[in-house]
Amino acid sequence: MMPRGYGGKILRVNLSNRDIRIEKTDIGYMLKTIGGRGCNSQRLFDELDFDADPLSPENMLVFGIGPLTGTLLSASAFTTISAKSPLTGILGDSAAGGFFGPELKQAGFDQVIITGKSEHPCYLFVTEEYAEIRDASHIWGKDIWQTTSVIRKELNDNAVQVAAIGPAGENLVRFATVACNNSRMFGRTGMGAVLGSKNLKALVVRGKKGVRLHDPLTFLKLCKELDEKIISHPEYADRRNLGSTLLMKALNNLGILPTNHFQEGLCDYVDDVSGESLARNFKTKNKSCFNCNIHCSRYYLTRETEGEGPEYETLCSYTSRIGVDDLKFALRMTSFLNKMGVDSLSSGETIGWAMECVQRGLLDKNDFDGLDFTWGNKETIEKLLPMIVNREGIGDLFAEGTRALSEHFQKGTRDYALHVKGLDMICGDPRGIKAFGLTYAIASRGGDHLRAEPFFELTNRFEEAEKRFGTRDAGDRLADNGKADLVVFTEKQALLTDCMTMCKNIGLSMDIIDFDFASRLLTSATGLKFTEDRVVRSLEGIIETDRLMNIKFGIDPSQDTLPKRFTEEPLAQGPSKGQVVPVEKMVKEYYRLKGWDKNGVPARKK
Ligand code: SF4
């Protein structure tokens, strides 16, 4: 009998021959991987042709949720999309909240696996009774907001949940996004381009089944316990009011707010573009994902535009990172990126890279179809973005991502392409947060914080640091020691959050879920014996699987590093002045703790 919690079915669709199959969820598989990102990774590892071109029909696209998705557990609404990334050529995945994952669960599915390529534009409609491939010619070319609205209208159901691409995905922009609920973005690693390469405009779901649990009373008690921890958390009020945009001022206070493409860590106009300013001047209401008691998202309204968000990464990418001091402009760009389906971090990095190359005299207007990339030039940004979306002129090259851009131009411009393994750096300068620096270097999808988010190093909880990680330095953001231990631990915590399909704002940043609590939640939901030990072993196994997969994609230790800016150029001012990241030493220590050899290869027995 199928354990409770899980939907119980896996949907497989081959768009080339329009073959649709429904399989029973394999419980052994779920016990091994829990769900969500873990299960997606295992699926790719087991079934993907590693040599496949990411934009070919052979690439495999996996939508995955887990046993707690759509339950009463706070913020358990996340879905992960995984595939070989067209931006990086290695493991790609991206998660988003909203209402899509819970709807997929209500339709009874744990995973949707899509291969092949449809001859014509299509969308896939999934309900608890059937799945069908429908024509999407009439919505090809439409933006994400229009697409959602047309599909809801033609299905005569405003409650269907739509995960769609915009024109950027259709045009195979390598950092194109998928969006659900219009503004919940599967942002990183170009999953939107993978949908586009399959002529798949959207995955649309509708379900009414409900989620049955093994031991509802115990589960409910645990949910209540978690709710209380969230509400009494010291950051609750700020997170609710500002969401992740609280980081604009917080990182500036630490001297690590990316400013003019990480050349500085202090931004003198931060007050004008901060989360506080956004909340004061443009926020009209809070928005929430399914069943979250923080509702951290915000709806904004200006004379020119409206929409949901932006998250910190978008806000920083379109203000201080590229020298823009105009908050209203950043909101207008947020709406544009969300509608067209473009990742704000990667697009922002292409712009920052171009601006720095111009500043240093390496490139000029003539290299960029006459566009003037002086710092903060809003006119240029506004002209460039549609060119990227439509792959017009120089926009065609920008649509390949910063790594490819710098490889095209050469002339010393590669040193200013701030990416790891092809994934553009997030907006936190690692020189003042060393464990984050290690995380970016080793993260299995490239320059990213979400694989570990070792916030503990910012807490100054020195005694606890000594007890948990063997050195007080683990609680000191500027120290190098103990950071590998910390990352090895928080990497599992981050993955746990993804496997339980929980929001990282809660599961990780607030540091209120431990392995024991998770094992009790999983056991009471499913009836399977998810002991603490089994949960930890599953997580460790998935991390090794991700590594092995990336080795098959061609990753070697030379890529477990950071751009030179962070290892050789000390920050010039502020509370992180003089710092660089000793990344080589930290990575070595990380390998040692993992039991990986000097080439970063996991031991055979693992
Ligand atoms: S904290 Fe914000 S992003 Fe996370 S689940 Fe709640 S509303 Fe969604």
Report CA(292)–ligand 1 centroid distance (Å).
6
Whether the CB of 240 sits within 6 Å of ligand 1: no
Q: Is the domain defined by 429-499+531-594 classed in CATH 1.10.599.10?
A: yes
Beta-carbon contacts of 481 under 8 Å, excluding residues fewer than 6 positions away, are 471, 473, 474
Q: Please state whether beta strands 161-164 and 200-206 pair in parallel, antiparallel, or not at all (unpaired).
A: antiparallel
| pLDDT given for residue 411 in this prediction | 82
Q: Matching CATH topology for 236-404 and 429-499+531-594?
A: no
Report CA(202)–ligand 1 centroid distance (Å).
23
Q: Which residues of the chain have pLDDT under 50?
A: none
Report CA(294)–ligand 1 centroid distance (Å).
6
| pLDDT given for residue 507 in this prediction | 75
Q: Which residues is 325 bridged to in the sheet? A: none
Whether the CB of 293 sits within 6 Å of ligand 1: no
Phi (first) and psi of residue 344, to 5 degrees? -70, -35
Q: How many C-beta atoms lie closer than 10 Å to residue 554's C-beta?
A: 11
Atom of ligand 1 nearest to the CA of 503: 4
Nearest residue by C-alpha to atom 2 in ligand 1: 296
Q: Which fold has domain 9-206?
A: Aldehyde Ferredoxin Oxidoreductase;  A, domain 1 (3.60.9)
The hierarchical CATH code for the domain 236-404 is 1.10.569.10
Beta-carbon contacts of 421 under 8 Å, excluding residues fewer than 6 positions away, are 88, 90, 445, 446, 447, 555, 559
Best CA proximity match to 564, nearest among 372, 414, 384, 450: 414
Best CA proximity match to 336, nearest among 304, 366, 360: 304
Q: Could you state, in order of their start, the residue ranges of all structural domains in the chain? A: 9-206, 236-404, 429-499+531-594
Whether the CB of 505 sits within 6 Å of ligand 1: yes
Nearest residue by C-alpha to atom 4 in ligand 1: 503
Indicate yes or no: pTM above 0.85: yes
Best CA proximity match to 41, nearest among 98, 94, 3, 87: 94
Whether the CB of 507 sits within 6 Å of ligand 1: no
Nearest residue by C-alpha to atom 5 in ligand 1: 75
Report CA(604)–ligand 1 centroid distance (Å).
39
Q: Return the H-helix or E-strand segment holding 10.
A: strand 9-14
In the Cβ-directed half-sphere of 328, how many Cα atoms lie within 13 Å? 6
| pLDDT given for residue 508 in this prediction | 78
Report CA(197)–ligand 1 centroid distance (Å).
30
Question: Mind giving me the DSSP string for 102-148?
Answer: HHHHHTTEEEEEEES--SS-EEEEEESS-EEEEE-TTTTT--HHHHH
